[in-house]
Amino acid sequence: MSDKRLTFKKRLHILKHHYRDKKMAPAFNAFHTFLFAPDETTHSGSHIRGADDLKRTMNTVIMALIPVLLFSMFNAGYQHYAAIGGFPSDFSVMEHFLTWDNFWIGIIKVLPLVAISYGVGLVVEFIFAVIKGHEVEEGYLVTGMLVPLIVPIDTPLWMLAVSVVFGVVIGKEVFGGTGMNILNPALTIRAFLFFAYPTWMSGDKVWVHEAVERAGTADAISGETILGYLAQNKGAEFTYSISDMFFGFIPGSVGETSTFLILLGGLFLVFSKIASWRIMLSAIIGSLLMGLIFNVVVDAGIIGETSTFYGLMSFEYWQHLLVGGLAFGIVYMATDPVTGSQTNRGKWIYGFLIGFISVMIRVFNPAYPEGVFLAILLMNVFAPTIDHYVLRGNIKKRLKRLKSATILPKDSDSKAEELKAETV
């Protein structure tokens, strides 16, 4: 086996040298390094290096997303058929959920979203890498997977393609590419979709496959999300149990529904030390606190049942984490190291405010009862400010130390003895 591989490896090596200093070198190298970790050795500084590189880091996040993706493919079919035929009364996962019919809907609806997201995004990345003559960086590997998971199932593919181009170019490349962007590219894409095509992104029809097409006909089906019900003060109308919410058998954006799998993904990312547990934990605390404040306000009778906000404000505080995109956003989006806070103390503040503001926007936004992506984008903008103040703290400490320091004489002989006695 080694013989063939050697020649293949050698051939690629020769090709790499052939492409060196040519325009297409970044494109070639992107594929080459995908196959083979490069033969580069250290030149300056440490002669040995750790095992991790950016590809491995990004790959770990993708691994944490795979279960969510698979679940979402089944759920796409499940929600579709349940909306047509009603939810099965004797629900069993094997019989009603993990079926080929459900998965087929996933294949024809979810996979194209993934393909378009990766295809279009990577083409843009490659073009920019070739033009600017830098290597293709791996940032889009995760973005490309996140995007299909945070859009409604029936999002037209051309819409997605347009948004991806916008998100990658305006959200990332104009700032200098991976590592330099201010806003999370996946959320920039989501925000573009939301503001450019609002009718496709909200309402009670977009969350279930075919709900839009069937609207107004005899076969009309509803695709209302739990948050949608609550926002209209129709909390009593939905029949989802807590376990449905937790395991994700509910309508919503493609991949956001299963809090259980997101939790597993989050634990995996924390265990592998890829994502910041500080951000995740503080965001959970922030959202619980905001939810609790709303609950207290309702319990105190300040908000009556007739209020527009009653439905969402009276929603049990911890259940906010089970519905909508909050859990998904906290685990996979808020923890983006480039756009998040970069200092450990800053991460606590950053995460807390994401959770806090997410629930606040969710409750007070009558047009669209979800606020995670807006909250994260908002905090992306504030993250450098948070870091700035954390750094000022460190700088102040250093200045304070300077003030209390003893000033030494120029010559060590004259006052040496005397100073020694003082400092002891």
DSSP per residue over 187-253, as a string?
A: HHHHHHHHHHSHHHHSSSSTTSTTHHHHTTSTT------HHHHHHTT-TTT----HHHHHHT-S-SS
**For another protein, the closer CB: 90 or 411:** 411
- Binders of another protein among 377-396, rule CB under 8 A? 387, 391, 394-395
Dist CA 153 CA 160 (whole Å): 11
In sequence order, which ranges of 47-184 are alpha helices (DSSP H)?
54-85, 100-132, 139-149, 157-171
Dist CA 84 CA 67 (whole Å): 26
The residue from 48, 94, 236, 300 that contacts another protein (CB under 8 A) is: 48
Dist CA 201 CA 222 (whole Å): 15
Amino acid letter, 105: I
The residue from 49, 108, 242, 381 that contacts another protein (CB under 8 A) is: 49
Binding mask 174-193 for another protein (x = CB under 8 A): --xxxxx-------------
The residue from 344, 366, 381, 385 that contacts another protein (CB under 8 A) is: 344
> Which of 206, 251, 234 is closest to 308 using CA atoms?
234
The residue from 54, 66, 196, 296 that contacts another protein (CB under 8 A) is: 54
**For another protein, the closer CB: 40 or 90:** 40
138 touching another protein, by CB under 8 A? yes
The residue from 1, 3, 4, 35 that contacts another protein (CB under 8 A) is: 35
Residue pair 150/253 in contact (Cβ under 8 Å)? The answer is yes
Stretch that binds another protein, among 100-108, 215-223, 238-246, 339-347 (CB under 8 A): 339-347
DSSP per residue over 332-379, as a string?
A: IITT-TTTS--SHHHHHHHHHHHHHHHHHHHHH-SS-S--HHHHHHHH
**Number of chain residues interacting with another protein (CB under 8 A):** 74
- Binders of another protein among 293-332, rule CB under 8 A? none
**For another protein, the closer CB: 291 or 340:** 340
**For another protein, the closer CB: 310 or 382:** 382
What tokens appear for 77 in the block?
Answer: 């079919």
423 touching another protein, by CB under 8 A? yes
Stretch that binds another protein, among 31-39, 74-82, 99-107, 124-132 (CB under 8 A): 31-39
